Structure 1
């Protein structure tokens, strides 16, 4: 296969203008080192030359773009959803496991000698290593490549999770949960960072909706796992909660192999040439905004890291996620206990009552996706609406007393909390620069934001049980009010960029109706636009 690359190739139908490199079975031969280098050289030309970029993108129709992005979606969407669902099951089931065989000798609290307050530390101690290891883990991602690093994460944390089923003391469980957090650190920011190499900020919500929709199934699947494990109580002399840990751990270990084989790295990685033609690989990077990370970027760039660290927007977004995580983790941790205590059904059937709140969250996520993908409203506006809805739910928890009203609050809280992160991460990815800048900003943010998983479970102290944890819910309300204030501040900082994102998105949708993949408008550039730099985050 002979390919001619260079500036003149942009309009050449014999090279990048037409794709004639497919074989009879529809697969592509492996790309050579020379061809990969030529593609990277051309990428740098397009990233620095807006006219060349526009000319190249103009050779693609909306139908071609849809076909290429469908391939990308098929590689990412289901896989990253399954990755997050396993992560959420691992964390969320800690709260559900607490309720298994409640009142019986095989309950985890009685078997290991935990008090209710002491058991809160099982979740808290898992969050501590996140704070330490999220950032360095994300900085290693580019060098190690996503498929290798993420599969390592799943393999090691799966082994330790399975080992939790063999503990005999409180100290052993706490030590293993610390190791789970340490080995799991970097999974979530790694996925967000990887997606920023493949998707534009105005369309990343499409991938994120799979991420969060499937992850919301974690409550449903996690409840079913614990429900099934409760019937295994005594099997092979093991308690039901031990079987729950073992089943989760084994599933995580097996899934590590799937990630290693399937998860893509970057658009122009050799791994991608097995399912994308050279022209398609070039298109995927050329269509991204100029500040987006690229395959050819170095693994470390000190200037990009410093820009990310000193940007007010980095810290504003960090506060947004940290405060929302505090409220979300606190409520998610205690929600199974609230539902079990309503008395609608006895154990283990009461575990199934965790499913409707999760289903409500899934519905809300699709509503947010529809609004953001059509550019009907600014993404910060959606975030603020979901924060306000969460505040109302926290108020309901300490003002209503009937069982039906409390359960309705449980459902509504998940409706609003689950839907926050789809517009939020789409909004967040518009303010990043380069591979190092993206890795540093997302890693730093995820690291500190894990205070939510560390501190959140401690909000529900047994000393406040006398008034149905009214004090805990008041604290949750105050935290979420803080999140409302920081989201408003972040919107003000990024208002110019958000306006440009909406303009470009609407122009793109208009162009697609006319059969064009590229409309010819100037793209969002947080580095090159002086107006944006001077008036918002720079």
Structure 2
């Protein structure tokens, strides 16, 4: 085993160790917590920042772009519906689909998420993140391009199913990979980049459709076909960038090209005892079973599921709401989707500032956002003025889009081991994709008579359920969250003193000394 902090069995069998197959004379080969702290103490705050900057450069922009491409693919199906509305080249007219029938274009894409998210995440470690994620983008890009060639509604639905099947695993794969590199008290930073760049998907998607609307009729293809083709080609090309740039794990062979052996050791040693490690096996039945039985796993699962049900339904129908307000004609109506997206990005920055400085407990911030989202749904089924409704659109994205930054920072605090983390996140992401399946079906034409007040009331009920589940999850994790705040403030103090945080009072969610000992030393 090439880790500095080995099991007792490893320590008994050898009095010396190696890092990546090479002797490391910079630290002693001890097998107790003090050795880990002593090793971390050899790094100054400036060295720690330099190492983390290397990691940030590899991850932050790339993962944000990955999620942006994913969200653009999903959300643009709803934007495409508003292209050339009332004209022969509109997608509903060409494929002879009703609005209710078209809702299935989003629903059927969500079904394979439920089936394939968990299996995809379980093979991530074996296949390695860079290879698996690039495969995901390549295959779904091909399927998206094919959407531009469909001739019937059935063919469109078949292609959207394939898009969902090939895309499944991308989101939980990134979350799982980040848990190998970042501590839970600092993961808010990559989450900010992940979600705020992803929130540009509404802006980028609207601009793609805006540009494609001027291509209507070019080479005999309608504008909506060009939108799918452009998205698909961009996704295929992006798969190549993921293959070359996305890191695997701190001690993976690929990491040697940009990290020294000492830096590789540091990145893994600074993580809490429960964090997954490069040397963990690709599968551990015990870890998977422990994760499956954990009430905390199911609490977080309910949090995400209920919020997804509300946010997916709102995201799906929001372009239609904005178009129906009548502020602008075609195609300028597409540009009105940009201010709500910008509001969401601004809210994410606020959330990251609050969590990174340990100014607000992450569960409390999540609950505050849930309450704000509830108010927005109330506004949707009570307001009648155009200005009021557009304000509700902006506020809804301010709250609902910012929820996942503190939420995923909170969520990663309780993941344990490579298999446990992959299983928990994969299971959660699979079931939470009910939001992608059910959300678009909430807005049925039969409820159009009262401006979909019934639909917004259903969304409100989902958010109310999310409030209850978030309160329960906070209760389950209250002790861990107190420790996270303590550790984060300790890390900030150490940095101000010019030292790296040594983790002398680290976050330990395992709660079992025997398990902790076997994991680290």
TM-score (norm 2): 0.94
The verdict on how the C-alpha distance between 1:465 and 1:131 changes in structure 2, with shifts beyond 3 A counting, is: same
Q: How many Å apart are 1:197 and its aligned residue?
A: 0.2
Structure 2 residues not aligned, in runs of 5+: 6-16, 517-521
Answer yes or no: is 1:225 the counterpart of 2:208.
yes
Q: How many Å apart are 1:49 and its aligned residue?
A: 2.4
User: In the TM superposition, what whole-angstrom CA distance separates every residue of 1:349-405 from its partner, at most 9, and x where no partner exists?
Assistant: 010000000000000000000000000011000000000000000000010100000
Structure 1 residues not aligned, in runs of 5+: 8-32, 534-538
Answer yes or no: is 1:374 the counterpart of 2:357.
yes
Structure 2 residue matching 1:399: 3-state secondary structure: coil
Q: How many Å apart are 1:74 and its aligned residue?
A: 0.3
User: In the TM superposition, what whole-angstrom CA distance separates every residue of 1:1-20 from its partner, at most 9, and x where no partner exists?
Assistant: xxx9968xxxxxxxxxxxxx
- Equivalent in the alignment of 1:239: 222
- Equivalent in the alignment of 1:333: 316
The verdict on how the C-alpha distance between 1:39 and 1:407 changes in structure 2, with shifts beyond 3 A counting, is: farther
User: In the TM superposition, what whole-angstrom CA distance separates every residue of 1:199-251 from its partner, at most 9, and x where no partner exists?
Assistant: 00000110010000000100000000000000000000000000000000000
- Give the Cα separation in 1 of the matches to 2:196 and 2:27: 34
The verdict on how the C-alpha distance between 1:148 and 1:519 changes in structure 2, with shifts beyond 3 A counting, is: closer
Runs of 4 or more, structure 1, over 3 Å off, are 4-7, 37-40, 42-46
Q: How many Å apart are 1:518 and its aligned residue?
A: 1.7
Contact 1:227 1:348 in 2 (8 A): yes
- Equivalent in the alignment of 1:13: none
Contact 1:223 1:351 in 2 (8 A): yes
The verdict on how the C-alpha distance between 1:186 and 1:5 changes in structure 2, with shifts beyond 3 A counting, is: closer
- Equivalent in the alignment of 1:56: 39
- Equivalent in the alignment of 1:36: 20
Contact 2:114 2:430 in 1 (8 A): yes
Q: How many Å apart are 1:528 and its aligned residue?
A: 3.6
- Give the Cα separation in 2 of the matches to 1:347 and 1:292: 51
- Equivalent in the alignment of 2:282: 299
Contact 2:99 2:445 in 1 (8 A): yes
- Equivalent in the alignment of 1:130: 113
Contact 1:92 1:332 in 2 (8 A): yes
Matching of residues 153-168 of structure 1 within 5 Å: 153-168=136-151
- Equivalent in the alignment of 1:143: 126
User: In the TM superposition, what whole-angstrom CA distance separates every residue of 1:177-200 from its partner, at most 9, and x where no partner exists?
Assistant: 000000000000000000000000
Structure 2 residue matching 1:525: 3-state secondary structure: coil
User: In the TM superposition, what whole-angstrom CA distance separates every residue of 1:403-437 from its partner, at most 9, and x where no partner exists?
Assistant: 00000000000000111000000000000110000
Answer yes or no: is 1:403 the counterpart of 2:386.
yes
User: In the TM superposition, what whole-angstrom CA distance separates every residue of 1:85-104 from its partner, at most 9, and x where no partner exists?
Assistant: 00000000000000000000
Contact 1:43 1:285 in 2 (8 A): no
Q: How many Å apart are 1:527 and its aligned residue?
A: 1.1
- Give the Cα separation in 1 of the matches to 2:428 and 2:449: 36
Q: How many Å apart are 1:36 and its aligned residue?
A: 1.2
- Equivalent in the alignment of 1:209: 192
- Give the Cα separation in 2 of the matches to 1:43 and 1:136: 39
- Give the Cα separation in 1 of the matches to 2:360 and 2:149: 51
Count the aligned residue pairs: 502
- Give the Cα separation in 1 of the matches to 2:153 and 2:27: 55
Contact 2:3 2:265 in 1 (8 A): no
Structure 2 residue matching 1:392: 3-state secondary structure: helix
Contact 1:39 1:282 in 2 (8 A): no
Match of 2:325 among 342, 364, 368: 342
- Give the Cα separation in 2 of the matches to 1:195 and 1:244: 32
Answer yes or no: is 1:360 the counterpart of 2:330.
no
Answer yes or no: is 1:429 the counterpart of 2:412.
yes
Contact 2:4 2:265 in 1 (8 A): no
Structure 1 residue matching 2:237: 3-state secondary structure: helix
- Equivalent in the alignment of 1:11: none
- Give the Cα separation in 1 of the matches to 2:447 and 2:393: 19
- Give the Cα separation in 1 of the matches to 2:457 and 2:154: 32
- Equivalent in the alignment of 1:513: 496
Q: How many Å apart are 1:50 and its aligned residue?
A: 1.2
- Equivalent in the alignment of 2:444: 461
The verdict on how the C-alpha distance between 1:39 and 1:354 changes in structure 2, with shifts beyond 3 A counting, is: farther
Q: How many Å apart are 1:521 and its aligned residue?
A: 2.8
- Give the Cα separation in 2 of the matches to 1:282 and 1:6: 7
Q: How many Å apart are 1:522 and its aligned residue?
A: 1.5
Contact 2:270 2:502 in 1 (8 A): no
- Give the Cα separation in 2 of the matches to 1:229 and 1:432: 43
Contact 2:115 2:430 in 1 (8 A): yes
